Structure 1
């Protein structure tokens, strides 16, 4: 094959390795026209599309960052409101406990006062009834003692002064006997 290339070169003096000048000129002009068309029309469209996409991506990123910042701010505000609400709930709960304790103390105090009043009133009533019973018993015992003494002595003790002395002496003896028995 090597000999074939050398023999063809010797026949036409044409070197197959060296391109033809006119062909090079036509290829160069075609390349220049194609290069001009690509630079003038195709590259600006690519750059425009690239710029639009870059702008859309940057806008999307900016929107996402803005939305993220708004979400973070809303989250912080929510957390603050939640903290405030918990603090307020704790304060209200403590106030309610304190108020309940105060109400309970007031009710206990009122109940104790009412109990003391009722007890005092009952003691007073019991003392009053005891005094009335003592007076009634003295009167009855006096009448019975006078009647009995009159029957024993054989004379009437209708004289009030004498009857009163007899009754008083009888009751004093009775009380002293009760006091001695109680010891």
Structure 2
């Protein structure tokens, strides 16, 4: 099929076949006119429609790309925010654990100090009580021993005074000591004088 026949079929002209069949310049002109009409129709209605559809498709694709990029950016921002939140939560948890450990150590230290102070106080009170009891016991024993000593001395004096033989011996001894002391006193000057005369 030649271009003239194609043009005749496109234009729907029944005379196109005749003109083409007769040949010549007329047929060529008609073919050019038909082609020009076809190009004009394409340029007037089809091409703008195709361009419009292509433009809309490009806009949709561009919008989808932009939306995809925006979604990717939002996803990256959300991931970064999530990572930051997780890091902050971990840091806060670590800080809370450190604070809890510090408070626990402080509470234990305070409890130990309080327990030590209480133990020292109890020990001091017990020591003071024991010392007071010891002093009281010593005083009580001293008083009892003094009483017993006085009672024993009184008993011995009574026994000694009641026993005549003992009384006589005590008196004799006392008198003998007195006589011995007097005789010694009388003989001492004579001895000293004799010593000087010699």
TM-score range, shorter chain: 0.5 to 0.7
* Shift in Å, 1:149: 4.3
* Shift in Å, 1:47: 0.4
Question: Over the residues paired in the alignment, what is the CA RMSD in angstroms?
Answer: 2.3
Match of 2:99 among 95, 102, 105: 95
Q: Which protein is bigger by CA-based radius of gyration?
A: 2
Q: Over residues 48-80 of structure 1, what are the superposed CA-to-partner deviations in whole Å (9 max), with x where a residue is unaligned?
A: 000001001101111111121122122212212
Match of 1:56 in 2: 60
Say which SS state the counterpart of residue 158 (structure 2) adopts: coil
Match of 1:155 among 151, 154, 158: 158
C-alpha separation between the residues in 2 aligned to 1:149 and 1:68? 118
Match of 2:138 in 1: 134
Match of 1:20 in 2: 23
C-alpha separation between the residues in 2 aligned to 1:124 and 1:155? 44
Where structure 1 has 5 or more consecutive residues not aligned to the other structure, the ranges are 1-17, 157-183
Structure with more of its chain in helix, by fraction: 2
Match of 1:115 among 119, 130, 141: 119
Where structure 2 has 5 or more consecutive residues not aligned to the other structure, the ranges are 1-20, 160-198
Relative to the length of structure 2, the TM-score reads 0.61
Q: Over residues 97-121 of structure 1, what are the superposed CA-to-partner deviations in whole Å (9 max), with x where a residue is unaligned?
A: 1222122112211211111111011
C-alpha separation between the residues in 2 aligned to 1:38 and 1:118? 114
Relative to the length of structure 1, the TM-score reads 0.66
C-alpha separation between the residues in 2 aligned to 1:56 and 1:149? 135
* Shift in Å, 1:24: 4.2
Q: How many residues get paired?
A: 138
Within 5 Å, give how 1:3-14 maps onto structure 2: none
Say which SS state the counterpart of residue 134 (structure 2) adopts: helix
Match of 1:66 among 67, 70, 73: 70
Say which SS state the counterpart of residue 155 (structure 1) adopts: helix
Match of 1:9 in 2: none
Match of 1:146 in 2: 150
C-alpha separation between the residues in 2 aligned to 1:28 and 1:20? 14
Match of 1:106 among 89, 106, 110: 110
Moved >6 Å (runs of 4+): none
C-alpha separation between the residues in 1 aligned to 2:121 and 2:144? 34
Q: Over residues 134-153 of structure 1, what are the superposed CA-to-partner deviations in whole Å (9 max), with x where a residue is unaligned?
A: 111222233234334444x1
